[in-house]
């Protein structure tokens, strides 16, 4: 089913890859409820909705697309849902109405995914921008790991600065990073996963990992929130949420597409610069977004943390299947998962190391051609600085065709890049991002 021999992998490698991906992204089941609860959604409701959407999207990716890419509610999209849609409305829009907008966006997203549009988009992206997307995601997740572990912290004078290297959390992060790097240099299989396990044990021994409760029965306090497309569309029209729906679609479209391209290239799964079974893969987050909104969570996306599983050898849907099963298991271990994901030092070293692996794609960029190199540079630079994959892609997509027009090579640019350049410019100027 997963064609393991064809992709040069085996069951053990795929299981370790799945566990690695899960451990690096499981924080979402804690962070997502915290953010969405600010919008008034019950914590337990979001916890289960997060898991349901992750399981459905990741299972689809595993069974229908056979890719080692996990799906879950996206960071950034949840903050936009809470703070820019619900709270910014001063009580005019409640979370039920906001979920209606997500539901409508999900349905439109499914329709788009069934058409050749999303699939053609991947082939339309110039190779240099694809390499830049991979490198930019690498810097983004490495910077995320440094921030999460407080190795770097916010600074009023210089935006970021070195954190307190003597604090327990930073020391634990540095231990985990050094230990894991040693395993990597020694070419030990499963080095990232082993590093997280050892770091977790040290965290427990040094009282940085506190586990008070392990098991709790999963439940949905409010059941299904949205299910009728007609009513959902009616609410979008009544409250004029067209811009909200457009933002959800646009950001999710490029977050997911960019992440899939980056992770697939890292795994060596691109064929002639194209993504095989692209339509099946792109349907995963569309379906998950729609179902997730029904139970109570913001739009889903392909998770960049999937690259950590790829880094330890994950190449097929068996990796994703493992992630989905672990999410199901996690639904019964909410308190334990919360405790593990609350210790950033356990997963931060993995993010930093994977970032180092992904930045290697910059060597493929044609730096001698400035019209190709500068848009790529903007993508790589802006992704980590704005903590947004889609914003980095936006600047690259806007500048690339512009430079080609100036150079007199307008006809060499795919028409879709011009269309999305206009859409991105509109979003950056007029819509929240």
Q: What is the mean pLDDT of residues 252-266?
A: 85
CA dist 209 and 199 (Å) reads 10
Structure confidence at residue 256 (pLDDT): 84
Instruction: Please name the residue ranges forming H helices in 206-241.
Output: 229-239
Examine the pLDDT at 144 and tell me if it is beyond 90: no
Q: Looking at 41-167, list the stretches that DSSP marks H as alpha helix, in order from N- to C-terminal side.
A: 43-60, 77-79, 95-114, 117-124, 127-148
Question: How far apart (Å, rounded) are the C-alpha atoms in residues 35 and 22?
Answer: 20
Mean pLDDT of 394-418: 94
> Using CA atoms, how far apart are residues 369 and 353, in angstroms rounded to an integer?
30
pLDDT in tens, 26-65: 888 888 888 898 899 998 899 999 999 999 999 999 999 9
| Residue extents of the structural domains in the chain | 11-430
Kindly state the average pLDDT of the residues 352-357.
89
Contact in structure between 163 and 153 (CB atoms under 8 Å): yes
pLDDT band at 117 (very low <50, low <70, confident <90, very high): confident
Task: Please return the burial class of 197, using the count of CB atoms within 10 Å of its CB with bins 0-12, 13-18 and 19+.
Answer: middle
Distance from C-alpha of 97 to C-alpha of 95, rounded to nearest angstrom: 5
Q: Place 432 in a pLDDT band, splitting at 50, 70 and 90.
A: low
CA dihedral 229, 233, 239, 241 (to 10 degrees): 100
108-141 CB burial, b ≥16 within 10 A, e <16: bbbebbeeeebbebbebbbebbbbbbbbbbbbbb
CA-closest candidate to residue 271, choices 256, 285, 261: 261
Tell me if 393 sits within 8 A of 382, measured CB to CB: no
Across 120-124, 204-208, 285-289, least confident range? 120-124
Lowest mean pLDDT among 169-183, 289-303, 342-356, 362-376: 342-356
Q: Are 218 and 51 in contact (CB under 8 A)?
A: yes
Q: How many angstroms separate the CA atoms of 317 and 325, rounded?
A: 12
Residue the block writes with tokens 């909705």: 49
pLDDT, average across residues 366-380? 96
pLDDT computed for residue 148 by the predictor: 85
Stretch 121-146: mean pLDDT: 86
- C-beta of residue 325 within 8 angstroms of C-beta of residue 185: no
Residue 431 has pLDDT above 70, yes or no: no
Q: Which of 148, 122, 92 is nearest to 387 (CA)?
A: 148
| The predicted structure's pLDDT at residue 433 | 53
Query: For 156-240, where are the E strands, in sequence order?
Result: 159-162
Cα 126 to Cα 109: distance, rounded to the nearest angstrom: 23
Q: How far apart are CA 356 and CA 141, in angstroms?
A: 10
- The pLDDT value given to residue 354: 87
pLDDT of residue 193: 82
Supply 325's token pair: 């099963």
Angle between helices 117-124 and 278-295 (to 10 degrees): 120
| Nearest Cα to Cα of residue 252 among 301, 194, 197 | 301
pLDDT at 339 over 80: no
pLDDT given at position 43? 86
- Mean pLDDT score across all residues of the chain: 90
Q: Whose CA is closest to 257, among 397, 432, 53, 80?
A: 397
Average pLDDT over residues 240-254: 83
Query: Span 299-303, mean pLDDT?
Result: 94
Asked if 258 and 132 touch (Cβ cutoff 8 Å), the reply is no
Of 352, 376, 382, nearest to 364 by C-alpha is 376
Do 23 and 346 form a contact (C-beta atoms < 8 A)? yes
| Band of residue 212 on the pLDDT scale cut at 50, 70, 90 | confident
- 87 Cβ neighbours under 8 A, 6+ residues apart: 38, 39
- Report which of 302, 305, 275, 308 is spatially closest to residue 287, judged by C-alpha positions: 302
**Strand ranges for 237-391 from DSSP E:** 300-302
């Amino acid at each position: 089913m997963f064609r393991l021999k064809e992709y040069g992998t085996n069951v053990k490698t795929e299981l370790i890859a799945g566990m690695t991906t899960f451990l690096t992204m499981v924080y979402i089941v804690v962070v997502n409820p915290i953010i969405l609860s600010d919008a008034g959604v019950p914590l337990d409701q979001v916890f289960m909705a997060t898991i349901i959407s992750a399981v459905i999207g990741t299972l689809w990716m595993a069974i229908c697309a056979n890719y080692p890419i996990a799906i879950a509610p996206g960071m950034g999209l949840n903050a936009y849902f809470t703070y820019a849609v619900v709270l910014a409305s001063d009580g005019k829009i409640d979370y039920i109405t906001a979920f209606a907008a997500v539901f409508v966006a999900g349905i439109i997203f499914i329709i788009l995914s069934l058409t050749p549009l999303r699939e053609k988009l991947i082939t339309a992206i110039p190779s240099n921008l694809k390499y830049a997307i991979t490198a930019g995601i690498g810097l983004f997740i490495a910077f995320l790991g440094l921030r999460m572990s407080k190795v770097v912290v916010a600074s009023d004078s210089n935006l970021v600065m070195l954190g307190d290297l003597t604090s327990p959390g930073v020391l634990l992060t540095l231990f985990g990073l050094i230990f894991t790097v040693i395993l990597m240099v020694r070419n030990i299989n499963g080095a990232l996963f082993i590093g997280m396990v050892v770091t977790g044990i040290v965290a427990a021994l040094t009282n940085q990992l506190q586990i008070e409760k392990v098991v709790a029965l999963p439940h949905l306090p409010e059941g299904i929130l949205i299910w009728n497309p007609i009513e959902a569309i009616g609410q979008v029209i009544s409250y004029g949420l067209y811009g909200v729906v457009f933002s959800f679609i646009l950001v999710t479209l490029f977050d997911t597409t960019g992440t899939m391209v980056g992770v697939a290239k890292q795994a060596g799964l691109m064929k002639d610069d194209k993504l095989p079974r692209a339509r099946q893969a792109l349907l995963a987050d569309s379906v998950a977004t729609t179902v997730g909104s029904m139970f109570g969570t913001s739009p889903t996306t392909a998770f960049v943390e999937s690259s950590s599983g790829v880094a330890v050898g994950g190449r097929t849907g068996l990796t994703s299947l493992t992630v989905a099963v672990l999410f199901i298991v996690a639904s019964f271990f909410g308190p334990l998962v919360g405790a593990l994901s609350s210790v950033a030092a356990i997963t931060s070293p993995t993010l930093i190391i994977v970032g180092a692996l992904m930045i290697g794609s910059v060597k493929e960029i044609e730096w001698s051609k400035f019209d190709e190199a500068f848009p790529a540079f903007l993508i790589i630079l802006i992704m980590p600085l704005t903590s947004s994959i889609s914003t980095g892609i936006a600047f690259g997509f806007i500048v690339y065709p512009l430079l080609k027009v100036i150079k007199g090579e307008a006809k060499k640019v795919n028409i879709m890049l011009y269309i999305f350049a206009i859409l991105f410019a509109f979003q950056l100027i007029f819509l929240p991002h």
